[in-house]
Amino acid sequence: MTGADAPTRKRSAVRSLLRLWPYVRPVRGRLAWAAFVAVLASCLSLVIPLVLKWIVDGPVAERDPGGVWLGALFLLLLGLAEAALFGLRRWLVARPLAGVEAAMRDDLYRHLQRLPVAFHDRWPSGQLLSRGTTDLMLLRMFLAFPLTFLLVNGVTILVGFVILLQQQWSLGLVLLAPAVPLVVLCSLFESKYALVARRSQDQVGDLTTVVEESVLGIRVIKGFGRHRSQARAFRELSLTLRGTELVKARLLAGIWATITALPELAIGAALVLGTVQVADGGLSAGTLVAFLSTALALRWPVESIGFLLAISQDAATATERYFEVMDAPQETEGVAPPSSPAAAGRGGMVFDAVEFRYPDAPEGTPPVLARVDLHVRPGETMALVGATGSGKTTLTALVPRLHEVTGGRITLDGQDITAMPRERLRELVSVAFEEPTLFSASVGENVLMGAGDGPGEADLERALDTAQAHFVHRLPEGAATQVGEQGLSLSGGQRQRLALARAVVGRPRFLVLDDPLSALDVHTEALVEAALRRVLADTTALVVAHRPSTVLLADRVALLSGGRVTAVGTHQELLRTSDEYAWLMSGAGDGGAGHGRAAAGKGDTA
Ligand SMILES: Nc1ncnc2c1ncn2[C@@H]1O[C@H](COP(=O)(O)OP(=O)(O)OP(=O)(O)O)[C@@H](O)[C@H]1O
């Protein structure tokens, strides 16, 4: 989903905003009180003209200085009370609304964690980031101001017009005249502004994605001297956003000018008519002063409506964007297909006629995995070999159910993985990927993330030892050393070994390794594999391998080709019987034995 995919259909802002109710419900009492206080404060400002009328028609006409002073004191008190009430309103809403924002952000984060990998493959991270930051900030702003003030201003305008009509109905009708064109113009403005607001918020998401990618890929950008072209791409996006913001500003300027001009014209007309009436003796000067002061006091509530509608539209768009993510279905527990005789009762890891197609794969393309049949026996280490793009990573992702099989089944010790609760499955299976991800935390915390709450210091040491990650002890604070974002302060091989330690720390029954040793030199790789065999003697492992050194350490090898496992046997057997395997291992194959050599050449034994 990018800015380009922004829906252009018309939608109801009110219906979108009503979806916020579950979050607003717990603080509705506070919000209602705050609105009541604001209505009170706003109505106080309408009492001021009535006091003015009393001063002009009373003490001023009767030349009574004491009365004038009393009136002035009353006006001062009214002003102070209005200010205090607005302050109280702000205080009433600040804390609960910060709570609403935090609750929505928590829910979004929790939901993102539970969305399937396929969702994250589809959505740029900047779009998700902007929904969790700017959009939620817009929603808090809406709940703090427009929600209350659309109500407060509505009530103030209503009460004000009752007072105006009661003071002099003919002049009141003159002021009411612009109401109809204003309502029509506001609704036109709303529908146009809604589309631009959506475009602008999506473009903020696109811009966030570019910033995030540039920061994460700073080494590539610098290494290839791409900072200028990257800056140019950023500037183009930022100019597009600027253009959209200017369209928004133009729309806002138009409605604001109209909302200001029409009532001003009506007030001018009322002033002329009122003066004539005072001259004719049909109206007292005090009534005219009070009438005009009331009309002027209503200026801000009327003028601010354009601005309040604009923020409300922004908030409706933000709500829509927020719920687009929240409505995405989470990972399901899945329903196990009827048990198959081929898999039932067989220990180890069994792939039974497994088929998989990516959800976003173009129509008519063959599935990545067409029919995979493979049995990894209990305690066995099976290497998985295949040309680049043959589907090795995809197959390994199916075991912990990062993706769901689209046909066939995978069983672990005879139990279908779709029949297991995910938590149980992820206790049984540990994974390590070629691209190791570390989090901004200590080395120890990064490793222990791979186990439940049980494992402690001894398990950490054992896991580090298995992964040959002795370099940890030479870090300034050992396992307590903080690693930077994505572990960028460590070498590729060091990061891979920490990821491997994370995979083995919980002593899993099943281990799935997607070429996790590619950045190590062959000697360290051999040490790691020997330690793995020692420590995880009962573990059944499936290891994606690209080079003979990795393959040699496995018990057997499976060759993946054309979406199927076309050969299974020992390294020597396959070298003899499979031309494709011999070709891949000879280093001639694309992504074959040579894969990972560049990193290995570094002699990363640190
Ligand atoms: N998220 C995705 N959506 C659609 N297609 C994908 C996705 N991820 C991978 N593919 C496609 O699936 C096929 C298999 O990819 P996979 O990463 O499993 O291959 P591989 O054998 O692990 O390759 P390598 O040895 O280069 O790591 C490729 O054609 C790839 O383009």
pLDDT of amino acid 598: 34
Kindly give the distance from the C-alpha atom of residue 568 to the centroid of ligand 1, in angstroms, as a whole number: 22
C-alpha closest to that of 565 among 354, 342, 348, 363 = 354
Between CA 385 and CA 392 the distance in angstroms is 7
Best of 358, 385, 435, 561 for a ligand 1 pocket test (most atoms within 8 Å of beta carbon): 358
Instruction: Please report which residue ranges of 298-407 form alpha helices under DSSP H.
Output: 299-326, 392-398
Residue whose CA is at the smallest distance from ligand 1 atom 29: 389
Kindly give the distance from the C-alpha atom of residue 361 to the centroid of ligand 1, in angstroms, as a whole number: 11
Q: How confident is the model at residue 238 (pLDDT cuts 50, 70, 90)?
A: very high
* Long-range Cβ contacts of 435-438 (<8 Å, 24+ apart): 436/487, 436/495, 436/496, 436/498, 436/499, 436/516, 437/486, 437/487, 437/499, 438/483, 438/486, 438/487, 438/490, 438/495, 438/498, 438/499
Ligand 1 atom at minimum distance from 515 CA: 27
CATH number assigned to the domain covering 349-600: 3.40.50.300
Kindly give the distance from the C-alpha atom of residue 175 to the centroid of ligand 1, in angstroms, as a whole number: 68
Residue 412 has pLDDT above 80, yes or no: yes
Kindly give the distance from the C-alpha atom of residue 414 to the centroid of ligand 1, in angstroms, as a whole number: 28
Residue 432 has pLDDT above 80, yes or no: yes
- 268 CB neighbour count, 10 Å cutoff: 11
Inter-axis angle of helices 299-326 and 285-297, to 10 degrees? Answer: 20
**Higher per-residue confidence, 474 vs 537:** 474
Residue whose CA is at the smallest distance from ligand 1 atom 1: 121
Mean pLDDT of 517-525: 79
% of the chain with per-residue pLDDT over 90? 20
pLDDT of amino acid 179: 80
H or E element in which residue 201 lies: helix 179-216
Residue whose CA is at the smallest distance from ligand 1 atom 7: 358
Residue whose CA is at the smallest distance from ligand 1 atom 16: 391
Residue whose CA is at the smallest distance from ligand 1 atom 14: 391
How far CA 154 is from CA of 160, 215, 391, 539, in Å, comes to 10, 47, 62, 70
% of the chain with per-residue pLDDT over 70? 91
DSSP secondary structure, 568-592, as one string: EE-HHHHHHH-HHHHHHHTT-STTS
Question: 414-424, pLDDT tens digit by residue?
Answer: 889 988 888 88
Mean pLDDT of 331-347: 63
Between CA 413 and CA 458 the distance in angstroms is 29
Kindly give the distance from the C-alpha atom of residue 388 to the centroid of ligand 1, in angstroms, as a whole number: 8
Between CA 166 and CA 403 the distance in angstroms is 70
Residue 605 has pLDDT above 90, yes or no: no
Question: 259-284, pLDDT tens digit by residue?
Answer: 888 888 888 898 899 889 888 888 88
Best of 117, 121, 356, 393 for a ligand 1 pocket test (most atoms within 8 Å of beta carbon): 393
Is there a shared CATH topology between the 13-326 domain and the 349-600 domain?
no
The model carries a pTM of 0.72
Mean pLDDT of 560-589: 85
CATH number assigned to the domain covering 13-326: 1.20.1560.10
Q: How confident is the model at residue 458 (pLDDT cuts 50, 70, 90)?
A: confident
Between CA 126 and CA 139 the distance in angstroms is 19
Q: How many CA atoms lie within 13 A of 179 on its CB side?
A: 10
What is the dihedral sign for C-alpha 219, 220, 225, 231?
negative
Between CA 377 and CA 350 the distance in angstroms is 8
Beta bridge partners of 542: 382, 512
Kindly give the distance from the C-alpha atom of residue 137 to the centroid of ligand 1, in angstroms, as a whole number: 38
Between CA 59 and CA 67 the distance in angstroms is 5
Three-state secondary-structure class, residue 12: coil
Question: 147-197, pLDDT tens digit by residue?
Answer: 888 888 888 888 888 888 888 888 888 888 888 888 888 888 888 988 998
Mean pLDDT of 279-300: 83
349-372: burial string, b at 16+ Cβ within 10 Å, e else: bbbbebebbeeeeeeeeebbbbbb
Angle at 323 between CA 320 and CA 329, to 5 degrees: 145
Kindly give the distance from the C-alpha atom of residue 389 to the centroid of ligand 1, in angstroms, as a whole number: 5
Best of 122, 394, 399 for a ligand 1 pocket test (most atoms within 8 Å of beta carbon): 394
Between CA 486 and CA 590 the distance in angstroms is 29
Lowest mean pLDDT among 29-38, 234-243, 504-513, 595-604: 595-604
CA 250 to chain centre: 29
**What is the domain partition of the chain in residue ranges?**
13-326, 349-600
Mean pLDDT of 129-155: 88
In terms of C-beta density within 10 A (0-12 exposed, 13-18 middle, 19 or more buried), how is residue 500 classed? buried
Residue 588 has pLDDT above 50, yes or no: no
Residue whose CA is at the smallest distance from ligand 1 atom 6: 358
pLDDT of amino acid 442: 87
Kindly give the distance from the C-alpha atom of residue 395 to the centroid of ligand 1, in angstroms, as a whole number: 10
Kindly give the distance from the C-alpha atom of residue 584 to the centroid of ligand 1, in angstroms, as a whole number: 18
Ligand 1 atom at minimum distance from 546 CA: 25
**Higher per-residue confidence, 113 vs 338:** 113
Mean pLDDT of 43-61: 80
Q: How confident is the model at residue 2 (pLDDT cuts 50, 70, 90)?
A: very low
What is the dihedral sign for C-alpha 486, 489, 495, 501?
negative
Residue 595 neighbours by CB under 8 Å, 6+ apart: 388, 515, 518, 546, 547
Residue 110 has pLDDT above 50, yes or no: yes
Ligand 1 atom at minimum distance from 396 CA: 18
Best of 363, 368, 384, 551 for a ligand 1 pocket test (most atoms within 8 Å of beta carbon): 368
Beta bridge partners of 409: 352
Give residue 355's identity as a one-letter amino acid code: E
Residue whose CA is at the smallest distance from ligand 1 atom 3: 358
Mean residue pLDDT of the chain comes to 83
Mean pLDDT of 245-268: 89
Between CA 489 and CA 473 the distance in angstroms is 16
Ligand 1 atom at minimum distance from 390 CA: 21
Residue 256 has pLDDT above 50, yes or no: yes
pLDDT of amino acid 100: 92
pLDDT of amino acid 350: 93
Kindly give the distance from the C-alpha atom of residue 566 to the centroid of ligand 1, in angstroms, as a whole number: 18
Q: How confident is the model at residue 335 (pLDDT cuts 50, 70, 90)?
A: low
Between CA 2 and CA 209 the distance in angstroms is 10
Kindly give the distance from the C-alpha atom of residue 511 to the centroid of ligand 1, in angstroms, as a whole number: 20
Residue whose CA is at the smallest distance from ligand 1 atom 23: 389
C-alpha closest to that of 153 among 267, 337, 290, 309 = 309
Q: 160: which 2 tokens?
A: 């004000």
Mean pLDDT of 571-595: 72
Question: 396-408, pLDDT tens digit by residue?
Answer: 999 999 888 998 9
Residue positions counted in the chain: 606
Kindly give the distance from the C-alpha atom of residue 480 to the centroid of ligand 1, in angstroms, as a whole number: 36
Between CA 435 and CA 418 the distance in angstroms is 27
Kindly give the distance from the C-alpha atom of residue 523 to the centroid of ligand 1, in angstroms, as a whole number: 29
C-alpha closest to that of 97 among 24, 188, 170 = 24
Mean pLDDT of 91-118: 90
Residue 602 has pLDDT above 80, yes or no: no
Residue whose CA is at the smallest distance from ligand 1 atom 10: 358
Name all residues whose Cβ lies below 6 A of ligand 1.
121, 358, 360-361, 368, 386, 388-394, 591
**Higher per-residue confidence, 229 vs 434:** 229
Best of 390, 515, 547 for a ligand 1 pocket test (most atoms within 8 Å of beta carbon): 390
Q: How confident is the model at residue 351 (pLDDT cuts 50, 70, 90)?
A: very high
Kindly give the distance from the C-alpha atom of residue 391 to the centroid of ligand 1, in angstroms, as a whole number: 6
Residue 7 has pLDDT above 70, yes or no: no
Residue whose CA is at the smallest distance from ligand 1 atom 28: 389
H or E element in which residue 600 lies: helix 597-600
Ligand 1 atom at minimum distance from 560 CA: 21
